[in-house]
Amino acid sequence: MDWVEEFYGAQNNWFGVYLGDVDESHQERAQLVEDMSREGHKSILELGAGGGQTAIAMAQIGNNVTMVELLEDSASHALKLVEQLDVKNMEVVHGDFYKVDFDKRFDVICYFDSFGIGTDEDQQRLLKRIEKWLKPDGCVIIEVGATWYWSGVAKGKEMDLGDCIRRYEFDAIGCRLIDKWWLKEKPDYVVNQSLRCYTPADFQMLLKGTGLKFDRLQPGGKVDYDLMEFDKVAPLDEAMTYYARVIKL
């Protein structure tokens, strides 16, 4: 997992990917958490929270939110947004979610966008930590990369992002999305994101021995690469990700 800080740091340095404002996409993600969890005021933990935009959106609708973020620049940005927006019910933790710990338990734990870092054993180690942080009647919401999308529709797709090129590849043996970024002016310096993708059946097997069980899922959206448009709603067999809801055994 030694690529993690280099890759996400480059995204910040080149495009400020995690350094923006709270926008509609973050509010929609906060609403997804509401739809997939119990109604009313909740304590929520977000892992790998980036610049804190989704965490803030969840706090703004009345939840008590704790976020954990590895990158110092992203965590600092979250603190700035919290101050600017006068968000009182939110805590920003700068740290590694494989190392930090909490003396409290949460109604909801969520992890968006980058589940699959490391090996299956790494995922299981994280899931065991999550089980300890979760209240008995709580739930976990994890965004999982859909194997069929990244091995098929997206494989080989290359996008011009202005100063940068982005290309998707797929490791069929490891079942991993390889997300490559490089600056046009420095084509020999390529940063890679490598995320393990899971079918729902494989994800359920991953949960064995973690103290958690699969409850239900909701499909995510998809990109139409011909039109370069994002469809927010897609059938499961066409979606680029799905949101798995997990509960205690």
**Is residue 164 a part of any domain in this protein?**
no
CA pair distance 96, 87, nearest whole angstrom: 23
Residue pair 243/32 in contact (Cβ under 8 Å)? The answer is yes
**pLDDT band for position 95 (cuts 50, 70, 90):** very high
Task: Calculate the CA 76 to chain-centre distance.
Answer: 19
Parent domain of 137: 4-146+198-248
- pLDDT score, position 111: 98
Q: Residue 108: what are its φ and ψ, rounded to 5°? A: -135, 135
**Is residue 189 a part of any domain in this protein?**
no
Q: What is the value of pTM for the model shown?
A: 0.96
For 116-154, what is each residue's pLDDT tens digit? Answer: 999 999 999 999 999 999 999 999 999 999 999 999 999
- pLDDT score, position 2: 83
Q: Return left, alpha or beta for 241; rule: phi > 0 is left, psi -120 to 50 is alpha, else beta.
A: beta
CA pair distance 91, 55, nearest whole angstrom: 9
**Is residue 65 a part of any domain in this protein?**
yes
**Is residue 131 a part of any domain in this protein?**
yes
For 37-57, what is each residue's pLDDT tens digit? Answer: 999 999 999 999 999 999 999
**Is residue 206 a part of any domain in this protein?**
yes
**Is residue 93 a part of any domain in this protein?**
yes
- pLDDT score, position 221: 97
**Is residue 161 a part of any domain in this protein?**
no
SS3 196: strand
**Total structural domains within the chain:** 1
Q: Residue 216: what are its φ and ψ, rounded to 5°? A: -165, 175
Token digits of residue 69: 């973020």
Residue pair 18/51 in contact (Cβ under 8 Å)? The answer is yes
CA pair distance 82, 197, nearest whole angstrom: 33
For 179-212, what is each residue's pLDDT tens digit? Answer: 999 999 999 999 999 999 999 999 999 999 999 9
The label of the residue with tokens 């899922």 reads 217
**Is residue 94 a part of any domain in this protein?**
yes
CA pair distance 94, 78, nearest whole angstrom: 10
CATH of the domain at 207: 3.40.50.150
CA pair distance 205, 222, nearest whole angstrom: 25
CA pair distance 241, 229, nearest whole angstrom: 16
Amino acid making up residue 192:
N
- pLDDT score, position 186: 95
